[in-house]
Amino acid sequence: MSYNPIDFFEVLHKATEVVYSAGTFIRENRNKVSVEEIESKSINSLVSYVDKNAEKILVEGLTPLIHDVGFITEEDTIEQENKSFTWIIDPLDGTTNFLHDIPVFSISVALVKDEEPILGIVYEVVGDEMFTAVKSSGAFLNGKKINVTNAEKVEDVVFATGFPYKKENLTPAHFSALKNVLENTRGIRRIGTAAVDLCFVACGRFGVYYETSLNPWDVAAGGLIVLEAGGKVSTIQKKTHWLSGESILAYAPALETGVNHLLIDFISPQHA
């Protein structure tokens, strides 16, 4: 049996409608989650019915868009299965922000073909900012084309980062990088949603974003959006297979020399 070629722009259009629906549900439930309804995966990794029901909305809406598609999702509301085409979903990236009413949280949805992202959507819910990309077709914010910063020096840009949930994953390299960045850049931000961090690199608000101990649903969509906006994406150790989320490094290409210097203890641990 054969199938017609997939129109990924049509898939993107329909998928963004599904994401908007999930975003509406999240907004409607803002400030409505009681303490008793919050589950703790670890001391700073939380989940509520909002995450789970948003994921169900996404899965139900995305399933018909691609024939015989698999799903990798954060909240495991559907059987987890990699197929030739797989949706990778984080229904609420920034749950801690959401539950504490810190107004930065997002939905991240990526379509991956044979472990390569080909479509990405990140919706920053409070700001109503929809970041999208289809492979080899550019990156967009609310329909307007975006690009990484054209700054050439790290001292002219803001960095973004995050820190591991588990203290055993926190290493001396985290602190040396933090010191280097604080002393040699415009500053550093930790906003609590990796998907948005990546998109802020894509649109030039941040020059660089790095983090360790993530998951595919944290980086799949945002990583593609950075690439399509003209940025570079790798692991911090400069490996090209960044989709696992083991670590992520995204930046404007002109900043590479400065990035390598500031993150040297991550990139070359023997230097420490």
In this prediction, residue 222 carries a pLDDT of: 98
Amino acid identity of residue 65, one-letter, is L
In which residue are the tokens 């994406």 written?
A: 233
Looking at per-residue pLDDT, the higher value among 100 and 111 belongs to 111
φ/ψ of residue 43, rounded to 5: -60, -30
Identify the band that residue 32 occupies on the pLDDT scale cut at 50, 70 and 90.
Answer: confident
Output the pTM of the full model: 0.94
Q: Which of helix, strand or coil describes residue 271?
A: helix
Q: pLDDT per residue over 143-201, tens digit each?
A: 999 999 999 999 999 999 998 878 888 899 999 999 999 999 999 999 999 999 999 99
Q: pLDDT per residue over 55-98, tens digit each?
A: 999 999 999 999 999 999 998 889 999 999 999 999 999 998 99
Q: Using the predicted structure, report yes or no on whether residue 34 has a pLDDT greater than 70.
A: no
User: Would you state the structure tokens that stand for residue 32, as one six-digit string?
Assistant: 């409505």
In this prediction, residue 272 carries a pLDDT of: 43
Closest residue by Cα to residue 272 from 167, 181, 174: 174
In the chain, where the domains are located: 8-146, 154-271
Closest residue by Cα to residue 222 from 93, 53, 125: 93
What is 8-146's CATH topology? Fructose-1,6-Bisphosphatase; Chain A, domain 1 (3.30.540)
Is it true that 8-146 and 154-271 share their CATH fold?
no
Identify the band that residue 3 occupies on the pLDDT scale cut at 50, 70 and 90.
Answer: low
In this prediction, residue 2 carries a pLDDT of: 47
Specify the DSSP class assigned to residue 255.
G
Would you call 82 exposed, middle or buried from its count of C-beta atoms within 10 A (0-12, 13-18, 19+)? middle
* DSSP assignment string, 157-212: SEEEE---SSGGG--HHHHHHHHHHHHHSSEEE--S-HHHHHHHHHTTS-SEEEEE
User: Do 242 and 198 contact (CB within 8 A), yes or no?
Assistant: no
Q: Using the predicted structure, report yes or no on whether residue 39 has a pLDDT greater than 80.
A: no
| CATH of the domain spanning 154-271 | 3.40.190.80
Q: Using the predicted structure, report yes or no on whether residue 15 has a pLDDT greater than 60.
A: yes
Q: pLDDT per residue over 223-262, tens digit each?
A: 999 999 999 999 999 999 999 999 999 999 999 999 999 9
φ/ψ of residue 133, rounded to 5: -160, 145
